[in-house]
A and B are shown apart, each in its own frame.
Chain A
Amino acid sequence: MEIIVLLKQVPATESFIGIADDGVSIKTEDVKWVINPYDEFAVEEALRIKEAHGGTVTIISAGPERSVEAIKTALAMGADKGMLIKNPAADNCDGLGIARILAAALKNIKFDLIIAGQRAVDDDNFQVGTALAEFLSIPNISLVIKEEIADEKIRCYRTVEGGTVVLEAPLPALFTTQKGLNEPRYASLPGIMKAKRKPLDIKSLLDIGIDASEIGEPKAKVLAMKLPPEREGGRIIKGDSSRSIAAELVNALHEEAKVI
């Protein structure tokens, strides 16, 4: 089983995110970078599939040089090899552009299964994995919490509003991860030592046979970034007794806020 994991390095969720002077990107000086949490589920699931069925796990990421750190972490978790596509245009790409780059990178690689995160928690696009499946003309199943592989087929449990749908697809296929799929393992110390000797290719766009101009300008382009309206800490309700406090809250929700 040749398994590809799509991995993006993103700001740790507790990082402060500020808007840069250009108004269309974020300040990166104080950001701590981590593997996108949904891609961590993808790495873990790939390792479990490999443990059950044999094969190799290849991590692919498109992004700036710093992304090698995220790939190395995945190698330390147990993935076999990594590829970084250094993409000078990365910041300027929309989801379709990234999916095109990944499709070009995968053109000359044999694979049975691709696992992606449902979304990257930076741009929250929910797009790259699914769009890549389209470019590769393979089926995709989103938001998967359980999978079973047998006879060149994958059966996936996909979460939908209020339940689960079970679907089957022939391999090769792509699925995206959902919370509940697994608990990602930590990189062990021996894992970290071993990772140092694992192959990690750094490629340019030209190396994968795509010219930056082929990707072109993003079709969905950020015009401006703004901060959401600051929520002011509201009113702490006080009173003589817990009953009068509860009554006052309910009254406020009913009369003032009109939400009940």
Chain B
Amino acid sequence: MSNGVIAITEQSEGVFRKVTYEALSEGKRLAENLGCNLTAVVLGSGIKNISDEPCKYGADKIIVVDNQALSEYMTDAHTNVVADIVNKENPSVLILGASSQGKDLSARLSARLNAPLAMDCVEVRVENGNIIATRPIYGGKILADLALEGKPQIVAVRPNAMSIVESSGAGEIEKLDIDVGKTDLIFVEKQLDTGKVELTEADVVVSGGRGMGGADFSVIEKLAELLGGAVGASRSVVDEGWRAASDQVGQTGKVVSPNLYIACGISGAIQHLAGMSTSKVIVAVNKDAEAPIFSKADFGIVGDLFEYIPLITEEIKKIKNG
């Protein structure tokens, strides 16, 4: 018998992360397969206006902890509170997004609860009442199926890997007054680039490589902006100082799985592919017909990116304008 699935939501400044909707949807699907309820946990401060949102994704119950000490994600406070909720609810499965916060929280919780963890999963299924999670390892060169033994089975889902499905849940709200317990970490400040689309969550990523020839990324910035996407970069570009390290895609950068990845002037080294090969559709624009990126791309153009990207941008504008 299953005691339910708990989805830990993640919000920033009163807005849920996209991966939270993915985790809720996947959590609902697992709960249905296991024949149990989905409970969403919403943590934060002054979150009243968003706390009932998880019911749109099938949450039967929503546990809300509204506490000043939870206004920013803090490993210790959040772990203490979630561990308390888990001890009280005794769920079979804990699901959350493998964002920077979700990775940190799930790893600390696995140790606190002595619970099995499948990090950064791209697929999850139920077999004989147990979770089998599929996750890319070796930079995506291998997919591993993991069996999780113990309780709760913690599943952190890779952003953009699961589909968002709306469904209605009772969404009965339970407010809990949980003390955050002993904490050591102190929040100093937060610096956010507002208005920038987050690379790991973007539906479209347009990346530039050494073929950009310098720090002027305006041609691909324009295309990314038109598509509501984010700009990425190869390591060569970051090493040259043309773009910030936070833009790097690859094995030592971010892992992205957008619907559309457009690689401009990128050769397609194995370490770059490790960060983007699970993208749904890959387009490459490269001068060199022999560039390895073409063997992974669904569509390719052999040519100068400075000639083609503006033309592609214009053609898309035509479609957008009907």
The chain A residues found within 8 Å of chain B, CB to CB, are 11, 13-14, 17, 19, 26, 37-38, 94-96, 99, 121-127, 129-135, 138-143, 145, 155, 158-170, 173, 178-180, 217, 219-228, 231, 233-237, 242-243, 245-247, 249-254, 257, 259-260
* Contacting residues, chain B, for A242 (C-beta < 8 A): 303, 307-308, 311
Return the CB mask of B183-219 against A: 1 if under 8 Å, else 0. 0111111111110101011001000000000000000
Known: A219-B148, A225-B144. A234 touches B319 (CB 8 A): no
The chain B residues found within 8 Å of chain A, CB to CB, are 12, 17, 72-76, 79, 98-101, 103-104, 106-108, 110-112, 114-120, 132, 135-150, 184-194, 196, 198, 200-201, 204, 227, 238, 244-246, 248, 251-253, 259-260, 270-271, 274, 277-278, 280-283, 289, 294-303, 307-308, 311-312, 314-316, 319
Contact of A236 among B135, B150, B300 (CB under 8 A): B300
Residue of B132, B271, B311 with highest tally of chain A CB at under 10 A:
B311
CA distance A85 to B149 in the complex (A): 26
Which residue from chain A places its CB closest to the CB of B227 in the assembled complex? A260
Query: Once the chains bind, are A221 and B186 in contact (CB under 8 Å)?
Result: no
Query: Once the chains bind, are A227 and B253 in contact (CB under 8 Å)?
Result: no
Known: A161-B100, A226-B143, A242-B308. A250 touches B251 (CB 8 A): no
* Contacting residues, chain B, for A158 (C-beta < 8 A): 100
- Closest Cβ of chain A to B89, distance in Å, is 20
* Contacting residues, chain A, for B106 (C-beta < 8 A): 127
Contact of B138 among A38, A121, A135, A217 (CB under 8 A): A121
Which residue from chain A places its CB closest to the CB of B182 in the assembled complex? A137
- Closest Cβ of chain B to A23, distance in Å, is 10
Query: Once the chains bind, are A222 and B190 in contact (CB under 8 Å)?
Result: no
* Contacting residues, chain A, for B196 (C-beta < 8 A): 162
* Contacting residues, chain B, for A173 (C-beta < 8 A): 184
Query: Once the chains bind, are A127 and B110 in contact (CB under 8 Å)?
Result: yes
CA distance A252 to B300 in the complex (A): 11
Query: Once the chains bind, are A222 and B319 in contact (CB under 8 Å)?
Result: no
Interchain residue pairs with CB less than 8 A apart (24) = A13-B251, A14-B271, A26-B138, A38-B252, A121-B252, A122-B138, A126-B119, A127-B106, A134-B79, A134-B111, A142-B100, A169-B185, A169-B186, A178-B245, A219-B148, A224-B144, A228-B278, A234-B282, A234-B298, A236-B294, A247-B311, A250-B316, A253-B283, A257-B260
* Contacting residues, chain A, for B72 (C-beta < 8 A): 165
List the 5 closest pairs (A to B, CB-CB), nearest first: A180-B245, A219-B116, A246-B311, A134-B111, A163-B192
Query: Once the chains bind, are A222 and B145 in contact (CB under 8 Å)?
Result: yes
* Contacting residues, chain B, for A19 (C-beta < 8 A): 142
* Contacting residues, chain A, for B191 (C-beta < 8 A): 163-166
Contact of B299 among A129, A134, A231, A249 (CB under 8 A): A249
* Contacting residues, chain B, for A94 (C-beta < 8 A): 116-117
Query: Once the chains bind, are B147 and A221 in contact (CB under 8 Å)?
Result: yes
CA distance A180 to B316 in the complex (A): 35
Query: Once the chains bind, are B104 and A161 in contact (CB under 8 Å)?
Result: no
CA distance A62 to B183 in the complex (A): 30
Query: Once the chains bind, are B149 and A99 in contact (CB under 8 Å)?
Result: no
